[in-house]
Structure formats: structure tokens, C-alpha cells
Amino acid sequence: MGKNTSGSPLLKKDYSKTYTKKELVGYLTGLAGQNIIYNIISAGLLFYFQSVIFLPAMAVSLIFALARVWDAINDPMMGTIVDKTKTKWGKCKPYLLFIPIVVCVTTVLPFLNGMYAWPNDKYEVEFAKNIEFVEFTGDEAQVYEKVTFEGKDYFVLSSTGSWDAAKDEDGNTIKTPVFVYAVNEDGSYTALKETKDVALAETVVGEFQTQYGFTKVGTGSGIAIIAWAAFSYVLWGMTYTIGDIPLWGVTSLMTEDQKDRAKVLALARIVANVGMIGIMFQFIAPNFNGIFLNQGMDEAHALRMSYILTAAIMTLFSSILFEFAGLSVKEKVKPASEKRYTIKENFKIMFSNKPFRQILISGILRSPILLLSTVAMTLVTYYFCNSAEDPLSAFNTPEGFNIGLLLKVAIVALGIFGGMIGVPALIPMLARKFEKKSLYNFFSLFGAIPFALVFVCFLVSGGNILGWGWIIAMGILFFMASASMGALNVLQSVMIADCVDYEEYTNGVRTDGVFFSGQSFITKLSSGIASLITGVVYTVVGFSGGNVSLLNKALQNGSTFAEYGGGKYATAMFFLVSIPPAIGMILSALPTLKYVLTDKEHTRMLDELNARRNAQGDKE
């Protein structure tokens, strides 16, 4: 790793125009609130769409991906608007004062949607292996449904004469035993029980559950539900951008001191990762389920209402925190020139700025790493807690509180999020000893290794990583992977801020908003690409729509996620948080291997810029 030979640029010189401790605390408080909101949407909304209101996986994937395409246009436009803003407060502060209340409203809107599908009593069936054989005649007196699987017709017959799910004396659901009959070419029927083809029979029962085991809204209502999901999510993205670009852009206006800038950006990235407590949204929401169950709602609709209530409460609290940024920050740096560019010119500036272009391409190639944060909580919820309806109930058993399981989940969660939170704090110290470019490329290439090993361990364990040895190994691997991810986030922000200085030095204008819109664009486009990858994989394995509804019911009735469907869902999720991120990390190093803006050159430019600013201040 290359040494930093720039004369310790982060300690080069102190300048008088910098933020106070109070301003820094206020800014970071606002940033925490904004990032809690982001994580409610980035992880919680995806889970809500697929596992609570049961939208089709490809529909969700396309919604997230297309929204990111719009952001490719919207983010630079917003950056240009910010750079053209001129008020007594500055160009970023006005947006931070007024946007939190708008974001509060638009964050809740996507949750205010109807259910696309929900389970019914026909789900509560199982293939009858041990009860007396019943001859199937196909007359109207028998309760049966036709199922088509791989081009062949089958009939699923209820052995009780009803599809209504019965309850035992303890209130637990008793599944209805069913018989499966193949329809022969001559119109006769063959019981699969007679042929002893149990595997095929159970597969047909699964198909029956998919086709008949859940209620789906009509075509018109279904289109309206998907349309509202798309519209409300795009609207949220637009309003979030209005706050996000000024929130990051203002960091280069809060201080002239490179050391203080690196400090605020490192702290900002740490606090942004702390904002990942917003992901806990999907764990908190189910605990309000009982409120609506007591009002007579079924479990599926009660869960939807509990998510809406939780989203409203958490978003309001986070928006209040967000407001602190607008109330606290002060813009201390004034550009050497008041020149302003058009949107077209700003696009040209962004892509003609070579160091920024290198970072932009690198960030896009690294997009799959966001699968760790978007899929991880779904994985933890299903694989470890084993219940999509009430994850916290997994820790309570008839024998008492399951402290062992809680510790295992804590180890995995600490691994996933601990590295993102802790390691970024070390970046300013490391940047005093090593080139930022060298650090960036090191963490990109090094991070690919633990990501890839996650899936290797899953396969070697035979799909069962619940033993203590495997849990600890996974915790370590996730920590190393997330540490690399967190370090890259900080380095990306610092290097983008350097690009702003580069542009001011070269062209005499500080396009803070435009360049930090690039950071927002990278994050959102990465999220879209990650969502598209998720949607494709989920569609291939069938983790979509009504199938997710059926999975949730199966987990409630004692099935295990690791074995459900032959383990294909678990395998898909471990694949998603491992292999695509590993590939993305390797690819992300390619554009920055020959990064053009060295620390030594940046320090020289910054010294000259500050001399220009001071000279301009003396003239005024």
C-alpha cells in the first residue's frame, strides 16, 4: 500500500473558517435522522412489498430499478439547482430547513397501499400419507381442485370434504389432509399414493397452494396497487434527493480546513451507518400486530397495519432529528467565483472531471455490495429467527427465553453492521499514513475475499450454519466484508470532496451540489441495480408474490426456512449477500487503479485555493 508522501495533508494547516462543536453535533444529529429514514425505505420497504403485501418479485425489482434510472436525471438536476441557490443562509441550508417535513410525508406514502395477495384456508393442507385411501371419482360431491404442473393435470382432493382449516383444542391450526391424483390420457385417475411417488405429490400440493392457497385482488386493483407502489416510491426518491444532496454538499462549505473536512466526513459516514438502526423497522413492526388482531383482522392484514403504524412513528421521530441539520449548520466557505453553470454545463463538468469520473464508475461497478444491507435483514429474519410474522417470538419458547439463539443472531448482526460502523472511524488516521487511492483499492480488493467466503461456508456446511462454529465464522466474515464496505463509503465521500476542490482550482467554481449529487446517484443507482439482481434471483427460485405468503404461513406452523422448498430460498439469499458483492468489489478497483488526483497534488491545490479565498476576502 502506497505511503502518503504529501506531508500529512490532513494535518497540513489550520484555517479559521470552520464549524463549531455545536454545529457539528447538530449536523450529525440531522444526518442520523435522515439515514434512519433511508434505511426504513431501502430495507424495510423492499421487505414490506414482498413479504407483507406480497407484490410480485419482478414488479418490485422493476419499480426499484426504474426509479434509479429517473434518479440518473433527477440527481444532477437537483445538484445544479442547489449550486444556483443564493440566499442569506447560503445555498444548502435553506433546503435542510424545509425538506424534512416533506420527506416525512413521502416516506409514509409507499406503505399506504393495499394487499396484492394474502393466504386463505386452502393453504392449510398437506399430502395425506397415513390415512385411509379414498377413491376419486370426480363427481361434484367431492371437494377438489385441478392443478396443472409441467404440462400434466392433477386433482387435489380434500379428505375432510372441506377446505376450512380446523383448530385443535389449543387453537393451533390442523392442516387438511389431501390426496393427489394424476389425470391419465384416457380420462382415468391414478392416486400418487398408490404409485408411492410422494415427492411428486408434495410438489403438486405446493403448486396447489400457489394457485389456490392465497387470495389475490382483481386485475384492475392489482395494477392500481403496483402503480401506487411505483409512484409513491419515485416521489419519495425525488423529495429525499432534495435533502440528501445539500446535506452532503454542505460538508465542503462548513470548513476550509482539510483536516476538519476529513473529520466531518468520517463522522458523517459513521453516523450514516448508525442510521442503519432503521433496518430494525421490520423487526419492530410485527410487535404492533396484536392491536389489529384484537380488532378482528386476519393475520396478514393486521401485519400490514402494524407496518403502517410503525413507519409513521419512526419516520416522524427521524424527521425531527433530520431538522437539526438545517437548524445547526452554517456555511463558512465562499467560492472564489460566483459563476453559475446551466444543467447541461454541469453534466459536462461532472463527466469531464477525470478523478470524479473514475470514482463514479467505480461506485457503479460496486453496486452489488448493497445486497448486503438490503437482503441481510430478510435473511436474518427468515433463516435465524425463522418467522416472517413475528421475528422476536423466535427467542421465546415453552422452555423459556432462547438466549442461545439471541446470541447467535447478535453475532451475525454485529458482523454485518459492526464493520460498517466501527472501521470508518479509522480512515482519517489511515489517510495520514497512506494514499487515499491506495486505501480505496486495498479495501475494494480485500473486501471481495470475505464476501465470497460467506457462500463457500454456506455450501460446505450443507446449508446449516446454525452451529456455534459456523456462526462465529460467519460473524467474522461478515465483519470483514462490512468493514471494507464502510471504509469505501468514507473514502468515496472524501475523494468526491477533493474533486470539488479540483474543479474550483481548474475552473474557478465550486459545484458542490452537482458533485455530491453524484454520490447520491451512486447510492441510488447501486440500490436499483441491487434490487434488479434480487428480483431476478427471487423470481428464478419462486420467492415471489403468493409463494412468500405461503412461506410465512408455513413458518408459523412449524416449518424451517433452511429446509422449506428444499432450501432453495435460503441458498438464494446467501448467494445474493456473497457472490455478486464479491464480484462488484473486484470490478470497483479497476477504474481507480490509476486514480489521477494524488494526495500531494490535492494538498498543493488546496493551499493555493485558500490563498485565493483569503485574498478575495481582504479585497471585500
Residues contacting 31, CB < 8 A, separation 6+: 247, 268, 271, 272, 275, 325
Give residue 15's pLDDT: 45
193 and 319, same domain (yes or no): no
56 and 164, same domain (yes or no): no
Q: How far apart are CA 94 and CA 327, in angstroms?
A: 10
Find, among 597, 73, 609, 593, the residue nearest to 353 by Cα.
597
Q: Which of 212, 237, 252 is the last residue of a domain?
A: 212
18 and 109, same domain (yes or no): yes
Q: Which of 162, 185, 212 is the last residue of a domain?
A: 212
Q: How far apart are CA 375 and CA 560, in angstroms?
A: 18
The full DSSP string for 417-449 is HHHHHHGGGGHHHHHTTB-HHHHHHHHHHHHHH
Nine-digit cell string for 521: 446517484
368 and 424, same domain (yes or no): yes
**CATH code, domain with 50:** 1.20.1250.20
Give residue 72's pLDDT: 67
Q: Which helix (H) or strand (E) holds 181?
A: strand 176-183
26 and 138, same domain (yes or no): no
Q: What pTM value is reported for the model? A: 0.69
The full DSSP string for 350-398 is HHH-HHHHHHHHHHHHTGGGGHHHHHHHHHIIIIIS--SS-GGGGGEET
Find, among 79, 78, 81, the residue nearest to 514 by Cα.
79
Give residue 507's pLDDT: 76
434 and 536, same domain (yes or no): yes
In a domain, 5, yes or no: no
* Local structure of 160: helix, strand or coil: coil
In a domain, 2, yes or no: no
Give residue 131's pLDDT: 77
In a domain, 565, yes or no: yes
Q: Which residues of the chain have pLDDT under 50?
A: 7-15, 388-390, 392
In a domain, 99, yes or no: yes
The span from the first CA to the last CA of the chain, in angstroms, equals 45
Label residues 471-491 b or e (16+ Cβ within 10 Å = b): bebbbebbbbbbbbbbbbbbb
Cβ-in-10-Å burial (0-12, 13-18, 19+) of 246 comes to buried
Give residue 157's pLDDT: 92
280 and 185, same domain (yes or no): no
96 and 32, same domain (yes or no): yes
Q: How far apart are CA 266 and CA 491, in angstroms?
A: 8
90 and 172, same domain (yes or no): no
In a domain, 3, yes or no: no
Nine-digit cell string for 208: 396447489
181 and 222, same domain (yes or no): no
Task: Please report where in the chains the cell 447520491 appears, as a residue.
Answer: 520
Angle at 195 between CA 189 and CA 197, to 5 degrees: 110
The domain tally of the chain equals 2
Label residues 45-81 b or e (16+ Cβ within 10 Å = b): bbbbbbbbbbbbbebbbbbbbbbbeebeebbbbbbbb
Can you count the helices (H) and strands (E) in the chain?
A: 23, 11
Q: Which of 212, 231, 255 is the last residue of a domain?
A: 212
In a domain, 4, yes or no: no
Domain span holding position 365:
10-120+218-619
329 and 199, same domain (yes or no): no
127 and 109, same domain (yes or no): no
Give residue 486's pLDDT: 86
Give residue 575's pLDDT: 95
Q: How far apart are CA 119 and CA 214, in angstroms?
A: 4
Assess contact for 297 and 305: CB atoms under 8 A.
yes
Nine-digit cell string for 130: 397415513
Find, among 574, 374, 553, 292, the residue nearest to 454 by Cα.
574
Find, among 173, 45, 53, 54, the residue nearest to 547 by Cα.
54
Residues contacting 17, CB < 8 A, separation 6+: 255, 256, 257, 332, 333
Give residue 310's pLDDT: 94
Give residue 229's pLDDT: 96
